[in-house]
Each structure stands twice: as C-alpha cells, then as structure tokens.
Chain A
Amino acid sequence: MKLAWLLAWRNLMGAGLRTFLNVLVLSFAFVMILWMEGVMVGWDQQSKEDMRAWSIGAGQYWHPAYDAYDVLSLTDAHAVIPKETVRSGLVPVLATQASLFPQGRMMPVRLNGIPSQQSLLKLPTAALDTTMDAIPALMGTSMASKVHLNRGDRVLVQWRDRNGTFDAMEIELVDVFQTTVPAVDAGQVWIDLSVLQELMMLPNEATWLTMGEATVDSERMAPFVWKPFSELTRDIDAMIETKSSGQAVFYVVLLLLAMLAIFDTQVLSIFRRQKEIGTYVALGYTRREVVWLFTVEGSMHAVLAALLAAVYGIPLLWWQSVVGFTIPMDTEGFGMAIAPTLYPVYSLGLVVTTFVLVLITTGLVSYWPSRRIAKMNPTDALRGKIQ
C-alpha cells in the first residue's frame, strides 16, 4: 500500500512534463469547481442577507389574502394591525395598486406605506418625515431611472381608496436609494404609512408586518399569517440551484478534459511499460496488484492536483473572497436580489466533497484501462509482445 504510493510518486516524477500537464489541467478543474461553487454559496448568502436588510427582516406576517405575485390581491389584503403587538422591532407596510403619470405616460406601480421612523430596514424612510405641499416619496435607483425622475422631481400618482373611488395627488421624490433587492425597487414607490392609511381611508391597517426577530405568536397576530425567512427566500435557493447547475457545465467539461488526458496517459503507459509490468510480476507481484499499482499511480494525479491547486488556489480563492467578483450580466432580468459584487464563500465541506469527487473520478479513469493488466500474460508482457 505504502509501496504503491511510493512507486506511483517516483513514476509520475519520472514522467515529468506529462504528469505536470495532467496535474495542471486537473488542478484547474479543482479550483474552478471550488470557485464557482463558492460564488454560488456566497451569492445565495448575500442575496438572503440583502433581502433581510431591505425587505423581509427575520420573517413577515402576511395578510391571508396577500399574494406577492398578484397586485390585484392588494385590494382585499389589509387588516388592522394587532394593537398589543406593536413594538419597535416590527414594521407594518400597507400596499396598494396605483398609477404614476411621468411625462404624460401612465405606469402601474405599487404604492407602499411604511413608518418613516422605522430603523429595521435599510430603506431611507427618515427622509419621508417632512412636510410639503406634495406627498414625500422614495424610489430605488432603477425605478427612478425608468420613470426619468430625479430627487426633487414631482409626479402625479393616482389610486383608489377603500370605496373604490379614484383620487390623485402629486408626490415629490425626496430621496433615491440604491439597493440590490429588486423587490423594494422595481415598480415600487414608498411613502409614509400614516399618509397612505389616510389616503386609503384604512386607519391602522397594514398588508404585511416585517419582524426584526423571528418570534412567532400566531394567535395574537391573527388574521396575519407567519411567513418564515426560509419560505420568503425559497425563490433564491431555487434560482441559485438552477444557476449553479448551469455553471456546472463549465467545470464538468474541464474535469472531462483532465480525465481524458489521464485516461490517455494510462492507456499509453500500460502499452509502453509492458516490460515493467512483466518485471513487477517476476519480482513477486500478482497481476491484480499491478492493476492496483497503476490505479494508484493514475489516482495520484488527483492528489498532486489538489496540492498544486492549494499552492495557487488558496491565495486566488482567498483574494476572490476579499475583493469579490462581479458577474457580467443584466441584473434587470432577475426577479431577485442580485448583488453587483459577489463574495465567494468556501466551506470545508465543499473542499472535501470536491476532492473526494475528483479523486473518485480520477481513480475510476485510472482503473478502467489498468484492468487490462489483469488479463496480460506476464511472459508476453516481459517480451513486450502485447499489442
């Protein structure tokens, strides 16, 4: 066993450049897998963290009629905020369908009322706490640029109150915030909660309540229904999963390339080293042990690749996790929080799994051609007569 590794080491070192190239390609695959998976884990964590900070906190209570994907649901999705539960760690939001009229166009938006004094979410709601002859409002940068509005601009907004009566008023954009969470940006206009409650004639009502801590108390919060953080971020997981299986193609191809090179090396060396194989048998190995010898030798590529990967991979991956990585893509197209810069997160589990995966694959690819040795006639091998 130990002897097999020693022999493998000497033979691989003896093969020089060829070994180095195989190991290099394999180490690329290794680092790529770790990096890409790390980016995905980092992306997932970061997206959730941003969701927590900007939108969902530790979880939310939803009005049972509220459906985040259906604006029409907003008409009925509101109820009086349970009184005794009002405390600092809780942010109620009342939402309604509305229309914006920038430059004479009409644009459907969601008008959200949020307490201006809240500090749970990153939304700069303090800016709403001002008096003027228009409604102070907030928008995210992508929304603001879509409707061509800058800070200080005014625009007409139209809504229907609880009785279905249309009403309209001007809002003034008092601040524009930059966020990576489309849920609070795209199509969203934020005003003060009490203002919206007044406009809608829905005093003390809200559509959902965002919690600072995940303390569930369904009875007191009725009719609102608890939506845990994990449920609210389920879309991110699904999306990351799709995304990473797409990325997997890259490293599967890279891994395949490395495997092809190792397979080729194995086939060649079994053919070229017949006399050596015969000699091993003459010295007292069984053919099966020689198969093992060659399998170990091939598998050692994976061990060397892991070592080489550590040499340049650790600084590289570490550097990446510090400076981050910006995915070159159109962020508009994603219905989720996309961080402009992702910071890969690597776990020991990821490293170990990847190593085991690479080792097993390499082992199989090395074993496959080596099986031939078991069928070789040692005397033919010694004469180098096997075709």
Chain B
Amino acid sequence: MEQSYLIDLKQVVKRFPMGKGSFTALKGLDLQFEAGEFAGLIGPSGSGKTTLLNIIGTLDLPSEGGGTVLGHPIEHLKASEAALLRKERIGFIFQSYNLLQVHTVFENVEFPLLLLGMPSEERRKKVMEALDWVGLADRHRSRPSQLSGGECQRVAIARAMVKQPSLVLADEPTANLDAANSHHVLKTMQQLNEAFQTTFLFATHDEKVISYLKRKIYLMDGQLVKDERV
C-alpha cells in the first residue's frame, strides 16, 4: 500500500561536510506525495528546499534515511539507474532556465526525446505539441539568447514536459521573472498538471507561486513545520 505513493520519504537526513564537522541541512524528513499533486516546499533561504528537491530528483543521495521515488529506493540507487529514472520519468525546471545556448528552442525541447532514442517523426510531433502547450510554437527556430526570461522558462517547461514525465521538479522557477511572466508560467504549469495529472513539486518562497499551490509544505532549518492542503 505504501507503493501507491509516488514519492515516499522516510527520515531523510542530509549532512554536508563543513570545516572539520558537518552541517545538517535536512533533519529527518517524512513526506509522501501522490500522483497528480501540485505541491510546493516553502521556506526561507537555507531551509533545505533545494537540498530536498535534489534528493527527490536523484541528483543527490540522502546521508541517512531513504524511501522511494517513483518506486525506486533512493538510498542505494546506482548512478546509471538514477540517470535512467531521470531520463524517462523526471523533468527539471531551474531558476536560471539552464537552456542549452547553442541549440534552438526546438532542439532544446527535442533533447530529452533524443536521449530516449525516439524516431525523428515522432520527436517532431511531440516537440511542436509541447511548444504549443507553452505558446511558443512559432518561436521554435529561435535561440535562447533571442528570448525573454519568461519565454526561456516556458521553453524549459516544454523541455521538462515533452517526454510526459511522472514528476516535474521546479526550483524557484519564477525567481528571475516579473509578475506578469510569473503568472503566465504558473498558469501554464497548472494547466499541464490538470491536463496530464503530472505531479509538480516546487521549491519557492515566492508568494505568487504559493498562491497557485494545492499543497504547501513549510520547511524551517531542515525540518517540516507545516503541511497544508488547499
């Protein structure tokens, strides 16, 4: 029955070496997420939001504790298994977009599909579809340097969504955007969440983001302080 959770974390502890000792960024977190959630980790700077997101995204390992992400135990995941999991089922959205500058918008969105070895006809269809979702189909030939911040982030959303992952992790996706663009981007993600039941997990302290969340998880000093559903 625990297998029914999309993410199931048990007593996750994360320590970072610091000087002679270590710094504990996460102090034993228990958290569960179900498919289709639109949830956010909220907390001040340094509260451990990014650290937790990285562990869920299999980019980092917990120091203690563990659990499962998409059915895979995270505490002893091999590098190749973790990579496969990310490739097939997890999308990332970053504060600074992290688009590949030398590629066009189309090529950026196409990238995850290339990694999956999808045939080119199918790739083309999916990429244009994904660009349609974020309203940028007509810009597919542009380079990231020719786009505004809001447009870049929408390309990043398309890149995260194009392979229809089970889980999208978004770390401060609006931090570099103005209010209008933030709302545009958030609405886009909200629609995708509703349309595909893709689970979105944010890390943020932006009020605009928080207002869209259906579940708000408050963190403070690496500990859970409040978990509220709207």
Q: A3 touching B100 by the CB < 8 A rule?
A: no
Q: B59 touching A282 by the CB < 8 A rule?
A: yes
B98 located at the interface, meaning its Cβ lies under 8 Å from any Cβ of chain A in the complex: yes
Q: B92 touching A283 by the CB < 8 A rule?
A: yes
Interface residue from A3, A275, A284, A379 paired with B87 (Cβ < 8 Å): A284
B103 located at the interface, meaning its Cβ lies under 8 Å from any Cβ of chain A in the complex: yes
- Tell which of A13, A283, A377, A379 has the most Cβ of chain B within 10 Å: A283
A372 located at the interface, meaning its Cβ lies under 8 Å from any Cβ of chain B in the complex: no
Q: In whole angstroms, how far apart are the Cα atoms of A282 and B92 in the complex?
A: 7
Q: B112 touching A284 by the CB < 8 A rule?
A: yes
A48 located at the interface, meaning its Cβ lies under 8 Å from any Cβ of chain B in the complex: no
Q: Which residues of A sit under 8 angstroms from B103, Cβ to Cβ?
A: 10
Interface size on A, residues (CB 8 A): 23
Q: B94 touching A283 by the CB < 8 A rule?
A: no
B166 located at the interface, meaning its Cβ lies under 8 Å from any Cβ of chain A in the complex: no
Known: A3-B115, A11-B102, A14-B101. A284 touches B96 (CB 8 A): no
Q: B102 touching A281 by the CB < 8 A rule?
A: no
Closest Cβ–Cβ distance, residue A275 to chain B (whole Å): 6
Q: B102 touching A285 by the CB < 8 A rule?
A: no
Closest Cβ–Cβ distance, residue A172 to chain B (whole Å): 80
A63 located at the interface, meaning its Cβ lies under 8 Å from any Cβ of chain B in the complex: no
Q: In whole angstroms, how far apart are the Cα atoms of A29 and B113 in the complex?
A: 39
Q: Which residues of B sit under 8 angstroms from A285, Cβ to Cβ?
A: 83, 87, 115
Q: Which residues of A sit under 8 angstroms from B22, Cβ to Cβ?
A: none
B221 located at the interface, meaning its Cβ lies under 8 Å from any Cβ of chain A in the complex: no
A287 located at the interface, meaning its Cβ lies under 8 Å from any Cβ of chain B in the complex: yes
Chain B interface bracket (under 10, 10 to 19, 20 to 34, 35 or more): 20 to 34
Closest Cβ–Cβ distance, residue A164 to chain B (whole Å): 88
A213 located at the interface, meaning its Cβ lies under 8 Å from any Cβ of chain B in the complex: no
B75-123 residues at the A interface, CB under 8 angstroms:
79-80, 83-84, 86-88, 92, 94, 96, 98, 100-103, 107, 111-112, 114-115
Q: A379 touching B112 by the CB < 8 A rule?
A: no
Q: In whole angstroms, how far apart are the Cα atoms of A288 and B80 in the complex?
A: 9
- Tell which of A10, A276, A282 has the most Cβ of chain B within 10 Å: A282
Q: In whole angstroms, how far apart are the Cα atoms of A278 and B97 in the complex?
A: 12
B57 located at the interface, meaning its Cβ lies under 8 Å from any Cβ of chain A in the complex: yes
A378 located at the interface, meaning its Cβ lies under 8 Å from any Cβ of chain B in the complex: yes
Closest Cβ–Cβ distance, residue A271 to chain B (whole Å): 16
Q: A379 touching B86 by the CB < 8 A rule?
A: no
B198-215 residues at the A interface, CB under 8 angstroms:
none
Known: A276-B100, A286-B79. A281 touches B87 (CB 8 A): no
Q: A282-B86, A287-B79, A382-B94 are in contact. List 20 more A-B contacts (CB 8 A).
A: A3-B114, A6-B114, A10-B102, A10-B103, A13-B102, A275-B98, A276-B98, A279-B94, A279-B98, A281-B83, A282-B59, A282-B94, A282-B98, A283-B92, A283-B111, A283-B115, A284-B86, A284-B88, A284-B112, A286-B83
Query: Nearest 3 CB-CB pairs, A to B?
Result: A284-B87, A14-B102, A286-B83
